[in-house]
Amino acid sequence: MVFDIRTLIILNFIVTIINAGSIAIIWHQYKDRFEGISLWLASTILHAVGLFLIAMRSEIPAFVASVIANALLLTGAVVLLMGLERFAGIKRSHRQNYFLLVIFAVAVNYYTVIDPSMTMREIIMSVFIMIIKSQGSWLLLKKVALNLRPITRITGLVLGGYVVVSLVRGILLMLFPLQTNDFFKSGFADSMAITMYIILSICLTVSIILMVTRRLLGEVQAQEEKFAAAFHSSPHGILLTKLYDGAIIEVNDGFVNLLGYKYDEAIGKRIIDLGIWISEEDRQTVIDKLSQGYEVRGAEFQFRKKSGEIMTGLFSASTLTLNNAKCILSNISDITESSQMKQQLQVMATHDYLTGLPNRRLFFDRFEYAMANAQRKKTGLVLMSLDLDNFKTINDELGHDIGDAVLVVAAARLKRVLRKVDTVARFGGDEFILLFGEINSKEEAVGLVQKILQELRQPYIIEEHRLGLTASIGVAMYPENGEEVDDLIKKSDEALYIAKKQGRNNFRFYTGFTNHE
């Protein structure tokens, strides 16, 4: 049974609308990923409008139903070809096809208005379809990149089917011209041709959808291969873990070499069971940050190797979804040596090279912290300037090596006197500055000074020398004598000068206008 032409045109229109809806879905999902899909959608819409005008042939002027409708159909074919080229990454001029469209429009108009001939119009239509579809078929089968040909082959063959059907239709029309100019009564051959075009349009839409999905799958597989290559070839330790329980899904060679765990010792185990993190607080901070959607970049943490060795690692992590489960992709690089060097440089910048005590820069920082703490707790501070009595004589008579050794011993003794909230710094030579926090009375300060003097009076055994040294101390109180560190140091130095002037081996508080306790 063969349907009449009008029924087939309406069926073709319905199928084309469905095809347009399918292409629209693909366009909505992948328009930003692949070029050309917008042109495919436009082509299908043009095709649907052209078929609608043909179906309305008896209701609208012949010029519209014939010339305009067929022009829309063939313009849609050109637009489809342009879309396929963009999808394949090929861009070329279509001036020859535009020229053919103009010739087509003129010819169809001639055989519609001036010398009406349904046979000639359909032959012209078939030839044009052959020309455009053959370009598309050749493009997808021979011109696209080799890696795309397996993806585009089916669509290329479907376009080749259009060429074959149009060729057969054209030959039949030349051998057996139509006996009527009424398209809806054009007969069996046209019915079969339209039926084949309907089938081919369905196949074309399905093949295009398959072409897009196969290309997407290929790109995903390529990305996975790149990820796998980068994952396993990275010199850094990389591991993939589940977010909710820390179970290790995958590790790379860098992880094995860095932390010492073999694959079977790590995969399936939980991070917390391996004890990699030195600080559970650090690990939980990372988990919380990642759970909130943030990334961790370039953070320094301490890690424990399988051997028990502690390693400083530069850590980065982000989340990803794998099989509907939230996972963490972590990267660890060993920066132990550089971290140690950094710490050494920091110590060198803030500590005295000889005694290891804080230098002037670090002392000033400590004072700011101590002052803020004192203001918060409403307590006082004591700042002391300390000199070793007659230290110059030791340098002059025994040499600077012995003098340096004395300073090292004195520094160690001063540190023994300190509490956690206190600081002792060496400003140069035998000049030490001490800062005591949380002092509530002058009596407390006096007790500390006497303890210091007693500690420094102990004999110094340096090589074969037994040396007796004393110290003099000047004391300034915060906030009674000032609130600025420079001002307090100046006043404690003035008090120190008085202590030395009055016989050494003693101490004096700064008293303003008086020069004695």
Q: What's the confidence (pLDDT) of residue 389?
A: 93
Residue 339 has pLDDT above 90, yes or no: no
Q: For strands 431-439 and 423-428, give the pairing.
A: antiparallel
Q: Find out whether 12 and 29 touch, Cβ atoms under 8 Å.
A: no
Q: Find out whether 25 and 71 touch, Cβ atoms under 8 Å.
A: no
Q: Is the CA virtual torsion 81, 87, 90, 95 positive or negative? A: positive
Q: Which residue has the higher pLDDT, 323 or 87?
A: 87
Nearest to 128 by CA among 111, 105, 152: 105
Q: What is the strand order of the sheet 237-242 is part of?
A: 248-251, 237-242, 325-334, 310-322, 296-304
Residue 516 has pLDDT above 50, yes or no: no
DSSP letter string, 58-125: TTS-HIIIIIIHHHHHHHHHHHHHHHHHHHTT-----HHHHHHHHHHHHHHHIIIIIS--HHHHHHHH
DSSP letter string, 350-400: HB-TTT--B-HHHHHHHHHHHHHHHHHHT-EEEEEEEEETTHHHHHHHH-H
Structure tokens at 209: 């959808």
Per-domain residue ranges of the chain: 5-227, 234-338, 351-509
Residue 231 has pLDDT above 80, yes or no: no
Q: What's the confidence (pLDDT) of residue 325?
A: 86
| Average pLDDT estimate for 406-413 | 95
pLDDT tier at 181 (50, 70, 90 boundaries)? confident
Residue 5 has pLDDT above 90, yes or no: no
pLDDT tier at 515 (50, 70, 90 boundaries)? very low
Dist. CA 108–CA 124, nearest whole Å: 8
| Average pLDDT estimate for 138-151 | 92
Q: What's the confidence (pLDDT) of residue 3?
A: 63
pLDDT tier at 187 (50, 70, 90 boundaries)? confident
Residue 136 has pLDDT above 60, yes or no: yes
Q: What's the confidence (pLDDT) of residue 91?
A: 84
The CATH architecture that domain 351-509 belongs to is: 2-Layer Sandwich (3.30)
Average pLDDT over the chain, rounded to an integer: 90
Residue 429 has pLDDT above 50, yes or no: yes
Q: Which residue has the higher pLDDT, 343 or 509?
A: 509
Residue 11 has pLDDT above 70, yes or no: yes
- Predicted TM-score (pTM) of the model is 0.56
pLDDT tier at 308 (50, 70, 90 boundaries)? very high
Tens-digit pLDDT profile for residues 41-50: 999 999 999 9
Structure tokens at 278: 């030195």
CATH number of 234-338: 3.30.450.20
Q: What's the confidence (pLDDT) of residue 342?
A: 79
What backbone phi and psi angles, to 5 degrees, belong to 459? -60, 150
| Average pLDDT estimate for 26-36 | 91
Residue 517 has pLDDT above 70, yes or no: no
Residue 232 has pLDDT above 80, yes or no: no
| Average pLDDT estimate for 235-242 | 90
| Average pLDDT estimate for 17-21 | 95
Residue 53 has pLDDT above 80, yes or no: yes
Tokens 């052209």 — which residue? 50
pLDDT tier at 202 (50, 70, 90 boundaries)? very high
Q: What's the confidence (pLDDT) of residue 93?
A: 87
Residue 368 has pLDDT above 70, yes or no: yes
pLDDT tier at 1 (50, 70, 90 boundaries)? very low
Q: What's the confidence (pLDDT) of residue 234?
A: 80
